């Protein structure tokens, strides 16, 4: 595997980051994940925009957009990939031990691209099980969810809960008890014919897939509402699904003890999403 490290492609064995890198020591950094379909990276420009937003929030200097674009393309091509999972990571870089960002003169920039492993079709046909995690989402005032940070311990604790309870994913509530998001996904549910999703003000990452699904729904005459929802709101839904870059639109068949069918709106939005991908890469 070829990995882009700082300013060049290197082998996986050469792709080494210092133990004094502040991304390793403190989780001080940001990242983006994306997919390539038929050799073309889906919505790359939008992902780079969000990476720049995260960087601005934490006062981190990152490479110019064209430099990132070229590095992503070079990494995909060097690994001879058509269908790929791509991760771009920028950490504060190597520096002496200490929290001061000024200790790190140069950020560490990494692009990894590997063959995308398609999820089983049975998951889309039958849906997946979720739980409500006891671990709450970080307060917005403590860590703004618009920062796609390397420090993921909050989400990892919720993911551990899901694994221990035999679930595919965990729903995290915010400090006030409102439904926020999954550990790596945004949530949607259908109630009385309206598509609902927690608003950004609740404390969620405004996912790029989430954004596209909302646009597709509105363009196709579906009523969409972003708001504040309690677990009971989602328990009484007729359909539930989640979105992210890798899963696209994933149906949910069960949350706690409540079961849901894989409904028509979920199927339609997944088909519309697939259509948007085809149009983008053509």
Q: How far is C-alpha 112 from the geometric centre of its chain's CA atoms?
A: 16
Q: Which of 129, 148, 163, 259 is catalytic?
A: 148
Q: Collect all residues with Cβ–Cβ distance below 8 Å to 95 and sequence separation of at least 6.
A: 20, 22, 103, 104, 105
Distance CA 147, CA 52 (A): 10
Distances (CA, A) of 127 to 28, 72, 255: 35, 32, 11
At residue 12, what are phi and psi to the nearest 5 degrees?
A: -55, -35
* The two three-digit tokens of residue 183, written as one number: 């550990």
Q: How many residues does the chain have?
A: 282
Other C-beta atoms closer than 10 Å to the C-beta of 96 total 9
* The two three-digit tokens of residue 108, written as one number: 């560490």
Helices marked H in the chain: 22-26, 44-57, 65-78, 121-126, 153-164, 208-219, 231-235, 264-281
- Pairing status of strand 84-91 against strand 29-37: antiparallel
Q: Collect all residues with Cβ–Cβ distance below 8 Å to 77 and sequence separation of at least 6.
A: none
148 given a catalytic annotation: yes
| Sequence-separated contacts (24+) of 61-65 with Cβ below 8 Å | 61/107, 62/30, 62/90, 62/107, 62/109, 63/90, 63/109
Give the catalytic positions in this structure.
148
């Amino acid at each position: 595997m070829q990995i882009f490290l700082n300013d060049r492609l290197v082998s996986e064995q050469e792709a080494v980051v210092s133990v004094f890198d502040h991304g390793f020591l403190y989780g001080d950094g940001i990242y983006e994940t994306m997919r390539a379909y038929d050799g073309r990276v889906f919505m790359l420009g939008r992902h780079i925009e969000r990476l720049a937003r995260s960087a601005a929030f934490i006062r981190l200097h990152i490479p110019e957009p064209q430099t990132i674009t070229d590095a992503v393309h070079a990494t995909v091509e060097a690994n001879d990939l058509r269908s790929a999972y791509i991760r771009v990571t920028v950490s504060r870089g190597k520096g002496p031990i200490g929290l001061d960002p000024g200790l790190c003169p140069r950020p560490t920039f990494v692009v990894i691209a590997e063959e995308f492993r398609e999820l089983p079709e049975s998951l889309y046909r039958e849906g997946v099980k979720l739980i409500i995690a006891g671990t709450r989402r970080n307060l917005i005032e403590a860590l703004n969810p618009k920062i796609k940070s390397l420090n993921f311990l909050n989400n990892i604790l919720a993911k551990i809960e899901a694994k221990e309870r035999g679930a595919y994913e965990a729903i995290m509530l915010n400090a006030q008890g409102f439904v926020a998001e999954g550990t790596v996904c945004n949530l949607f549910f259908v109630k009385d014919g309206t598509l609902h999703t927690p608003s950004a003000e609740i404390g969620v990452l405004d996912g790029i897939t989430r954004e596209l699904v909302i646009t597709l729904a509105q363009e196709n005459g579906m009523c969409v509402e972003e708001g504040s929802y309690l677990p009971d709101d989602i328990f009484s839904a007729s359909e539930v699904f989640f979105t992210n870059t890798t899963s696209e639109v994933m149906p949910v068949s069960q949350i706690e003890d409540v079961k849901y069918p894989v409904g028509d709106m979920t199927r339609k939005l997944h088909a519309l999403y697939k259509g948007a991908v085809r149009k983008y890469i053509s």
